[in-house]
Structure 1
Amino acid sequence: MILLTQVIGALYAMLAVIFGAFGAHALKKTFTEDQLKSFETGVKYQMYHAIILIVVGYNFSFTKTIETYIVYCFIIGIFLFSFSIYGLCISASKNKKIKLLGPITPIGGLFLVIGWGLLLYSYIQNII
């Protein structure tokens, strides 16, 4: 699980750089200012959480179930949150907005919040 966490973190980080460059150059011509800001939000959150996946991959032993749940929450949350934003922005820029993606973004955000909450809980457990 350690290596898988690091590999997925590195993959998400690499994709964040690619999508960021794609958004800054290719999509800048077709996006509105709001769409570009939304797309950049997806990229930023993806990179932040890719970094935390790499960090926890180095620091977790995965002997506790909660550590696995934290990683799953971040992996699923990144995918649902960031990739739904990308889909919404790209489809809206082509006047074919995929409305189904709208409710997926906050679900992804909820997974990210749960991941951080579980991480906080695991640290508190170690203190007590």
Structure 2
Amino acid sequence: MNKKLLITGAILGVLGIVLGAFAAHGLRELVSETAIQSFETGVRYQIYHAFLLLILGSTNILKESSKKVVYLLVLVGVLFFSGSIYGLATDDLTAFNFKQIALVTPLGGVLLIGAWTCLLINFLKVQKDN
């Protein structure tokens, strides 16, 4: 599980940097400043959660089952939250109307909150300092 967490964290990090560079350089002439700011919000949250997965994969404080739950919540949460923001910010550039799936964004946010809540609950259950 640790290797999966580390690899996924690294992939999310790489993609976050690529997408951030794309927003800074490739989108400037194509979408509004508001859309760029939204896109950058998606990138920021993706990078935050890439770090979370890297940290989680580097520790043995939590049980494997708890790590799996956090992993799934983060993965789907980032996909829904950041992914939908990327789509909404570039909506004018595509044939697909991302506004039809705008409710996916808050669902993704709830999943990310769930991941952090799961971490908190599991940290509170830890009996001793490791």
TM-score w.r.t. length of structure 1: 0.91
Q: How does 1:63-82 map to 2 (within 5 A)?
A: 63-82=63-82
CA contact (8 A) 2:69 2:115 kept: yes
Deviation at 1:31, TM superposition (A): 1.4
Q: CA–CA distance in 1 between the matches of 2:102 and 2:60?
A: 33
CA contact (8 A) 1:84 1:104 kept: yes
SS at match of 1:59: coil
The structure with the largest helix share of the pair is 1
Show the counterpart of 2:31. Answer: 31
RMSD over aligned CA atoms reads 1.9
- Answer yes or no: is 1:54 the counterpart of 2:17: no
Deviation at 1:101, TM superposition (A): 2.5
Deviation at 1:93, TM superposition (A): 4.8
Per the alignment, do residues 87 and 60 of structure 1 end up closer, same or farther by CA in structure 2, a change over 3 Å counting?
A: farther
User: Sequence identity of aligned pairs in percent?
Assistant: 32
Q: CA–CA distance in 1 between the matches of 2:45 and 2:28?
A: 19
CA contact (8 A) 2:62 2:123 kept: no
Per the alignment, do residues 3 and 62 of structure 1 end up closer, same or farther by CA in structure 2, a change over 3 Å counting?
A: farther
- Answer yes or no: is 1:84 the counterpart of 2:78: no
Q: Mark the runs of 5 or more structure 1 residues left unpaired by the alignment.
A: none
Show the counterpart of 2:10. Answer: 10
Per the alignment, do residues 96 and 63 of structure 1 end up closer, same or farther by CA in structure 2, a change over 3 Å counting?
A: closer
Deviation at 1:63, TM superposition (A): 3.6
Per the alignment, do residues 63 and 121 of structure 1 end up closer, same or farther by CA in structure 2, a change over 3 Å counting?
A: closer
AA paired with 2:3? L
Q: Mark the runs of 5 or more structure 2 residues left unpaired by the alignment.
A: none
